[in-house]
Amino acid sequence: MSRGSIAFLAIGLVAAALSSHELTDARFAVIPAVAPSETKSAEPLFASIDLPRPTPTAHASSMAFMHDGSLLIAWFGGTREGAGDVAIQMAKVKDGRVQDSWTSLTCDQLEALTHRVIRTLGNPVLWVDTNGRMCMCVVSVSYGGWSGSAVNQLQSDDGGRSWSKAHRLILSPLFNFSTLVRNQTVAMEDGTIGLPAYHEFLHKWGTWVRMNAAGRVLQCDRMHSAAGEWLQPAVAATSATEAVAVLRSANITEPVIGQSATRDGGQTWLMKAPLDIPNPNSSVSMIRLADGSLLIAANPLVTGRNVLQLFRSHDGGAHWSASRTIERGKKGGEFSYPFFAQSVNGMIQLSYTWQRKGIRLCVFNTRWLDTDDTESPPMENTP
Amino acid sequence: MSVHAIYGLVAQGLIVATAIRFVREIFGHKNLARFGMELWIPATTVLIVPVAGVSIAGHLRGLWGDPSIVTFVLLLRYTSNPSALPSRPRLSTCLLTTFFVSLPLYLPLFSLSPAIPVDLYSFGWQPKWILIALAVIMTGSIALRTISHRWVNLIAIALIAYSIGLMESDNMWDYLVDPGLLFTIAFLAIAGVASIFRGRTLTADSNTDTLQGAKT
């Protein structure tokens, strides 16, 4: 063995050690809860608007507030789910009105950015980083179905009109098969981002991905170890080190919302007893409101997605009670894939898939949540 | 174009060139030129010629992703000069790699983690323990003279590539191994074990034959 080889190896070991990004303390960036009396406005407020429909089908919306207070909403739309013409559509909403909408990302554009074939696009997840840049993770498929998909991360300096610095997130050792995203990111105190993701190939489970501002993956761990088919985690931090996650159920024998929790800032997750809320293998969204309560939007049915209802917890997810019903349609209808955001003035934004034809945005306050749900929403109030 | 994309696309061209060389050697063309025109042309074609708007290399990247640095260097050496390859790993190395790397990396993906409770891939994001293990294993192998300098250089190249972020992945495992490399090592392990058993069986058979022959 030559001394040159030994020295070369030593240089490699030292260089690799120096370039490793050590994880800092895992602490969620949690805004202190405001007393309920301060967040309640005098009147219950509720409004809904339908976003433009440039494509025959639309699904899986995601939202993020820009620093100017406008709300950007992204979803995927095309002739049908999985088609080659599916693109990421975006709309900008401000002061309760749609100001603009555009096609934000096509398969061809993502192919050019990532230098690999892209057959179709899927769920987008938007967030704004600490520098005010719009970031997006988007699911793409090169070959096969959704279980063969991967996640791409992109950045935009012009509010989602064009994308740059795209790269593929490599999250699996076996050909990077089958990693997807659906729900919103969670900000960490050190400026890193927690991204709830999930795996679909053969078995389904949630994963917790932590990335720095440059998009470098620092951690990717399973969110639970218990048996069962759970996916699409939605995470809400309840303190600097504690968070709860609710998960879509793909279990035929246990069609209820799954639950996982962490007490160490997301470094380890433990599966908890599922919630007593039915889930028809449909996406769930969760948010921690300004008053500290947790709010879930889900389809509380064993089969079908024709009812979209809210559930609220005032004790960090230990107990949940039914709240307002957002949509109640005929059997076969679909009001699914909800996504939450809350503005600085406390107004709650909820976007969701409306009959697979479009995206509907509801805006309401906590006072509206507190009022009785005595009047059921009209059946499929066609826009 | 990013350095990640350049690496990934060139690697696909190299895979195609390797496949051509391998197939031609199987059919008896042992004296191919060192990375001659018959390999350069298809490799370049893969990089340049688009199919449905994307280069063939882009299609291959979409299919199986980018190979590890170790695989890349092995393919490069094989394609340019097969005699420059490191010596074939010992059976014990193949078996240890299969049991302590391949299975803990891939079995958790099939939800067989209770059988192997460690998700080895997760160690690659903060590779302190991988580096310590590598330092111990390589030091021991060098001291016992059980490893050639070519393998040591290969590991060093992969570590330096990780330090400069040559690949898309941020996980150190993706610089060291990939499914193609590990499946090949597992195949060598299985073939090695099978040959041992076949040898024993042949010995037993020959003994039987001898005994039967003595009876007659």
Q: Which residue has the higher pLDDT, A163 or A227?
A: A163
The answer to whether A264 faces chain B, any CB pair under 8 Å, is no
User: Does residue B98 belong to any structural domain of this protein?
Assistant: yes
How far is the C-alpha of A362 from the C-alpha of A343, rounded, in Å? Answer: 13
- Which residues have C-beta within 8 Å of that of residue A54, sequence separation ≥ 6? A77, A89, A101, A103
- What are the helix (H) ranges across A115-229? none
As a whole number, mean pLDDT of residues A112-135 equals 93
User: Does residue B128 belong to any structural domain of this protein?
Assistant: no
For chain A, the average pLDDT equals: 90
Residue of B nearest to A6 (CA): B152
**Chain A residues with CB-CB distance to B61 below 8 A:** 115-117
Identify whether the C-beta of residue B170 lies closer than 8 Å to the C-beta of residue B164: no
As a whole number, mean pLDDT of residues A207-219 equals 91
User: Does residue B196 belong to any structural domain of this protein?
Assistant: yes
Question: Which helix (DSSP H) or strand (DSSP E) does residue B209 occupy?
Answer: helix B179-215
Write the CA distances from A356 to A60, B72, B174, integer angstroms: 9, 45, 39
Place of tokens 């010995």: B203
How far is the C-alpha of B174 from the C-alpha of B193, rounded, in Å? Answer: 27
pLDDT, tens digit (0-9, with 9 covering 90-100), for A147-158 = 789 999 999 999
- Architecture of the domain spanning A25-370: 6 Propeller (2.120)
pLDDT over 70, % of chain A: 94
pLDDT, tens digit (0-9, with 9 covering 90-100), for A313-339 = 999 999 999 999 999 999 999 999 999
The answer to whether A201 faces chain B, any CB pair under 8 Å, is yes
- What are the helix (H) ranges across A187-335? none
pLDDT over 70, % of chain B: 85
Q: What is the pLDDT at residue A278?
A: 94
**Chain A residues with CB-CB distance to B64 below 8 A:** 175
The alpha carbon of A173 is separated from its chain's Cα centroid by a whole number of angstroms, namely: 24
The bridge status of strand A120-128 relative to strand A134-141 is antiparallel
pLDDT, tens digit (0-9, with 9 covering 90-100), for B62-86 = 999 999 999 999 998 888 877 777 7
pLDDT, tens digit (0-9, with 9 covering 90-100), for A169-183 = 999 998 888 899 999
Place of tokens 């927690």: A194
Give me A198's structure tokens.
């999930």
Q: Alpha-carbon torsion A199, A203, A204, A207, what sign?
A: negative
How far is the C-alpha of A80 from the C-alpha of A50, rounded, in Å? Answer: 19
The answer to whether A176 faces chain B, any CB pair under 8 Å, is yes
Q: Which domain holds residue B189?
A: 88-121+179-216
How far is the C-alpha of B193 from the C-alpha of B188, rounded, in Å? Answer: 9
Identify whether the C-beta of residue A218 lies closer than 8 Å to the C-beta of residue A192: yes
User: Does residue B197 belong to any structural domain of this protein?
Assistant: yes
Q: Coil, strand, or helix at residue A63?
A: strand
> What letter represents residue A316's amino acid?
G
Q: Coil, strand, or helix at residue A174?
A: coil
How far is the C-alpha of B146 from the C-alpha of A1, rounded, in Å? Answer: 10
> What letter represents residue B123's amino acid?
F
Residue B194 has pLDDT above 80, yes or no: yes
User: Does residue B154 belong to any structural domain of this protein?
Assistant: no
**Chain B residues with CB-CB distance to A202 below 8 A:** 109-111
pLDDT band of residue B212 (cuts 50, 70, 90) is very low
In terms of phi and psi (left: phi > 0; alpha: psi -120 to 50; beta: otherwise), the region of B104 is alpha
User: Does residue B162 belong to any structural domain of this protein?
Assistant: no
| Number of domains present in the structure of chain B | 1
Q: What is the pLDDT at residue A41?
A: 57
pLDDT band of residue B182 (cuts 50, 70, 90) is very high
Domain ranges of chain A: 25-370
As a whole number, mean pLDDT of residues A208-216 equals 90
Query: What are A313's strand-pairing partners?
Result: A294
User: Does residue B190 belong to any structural domain of this protein?
Assistant: yes
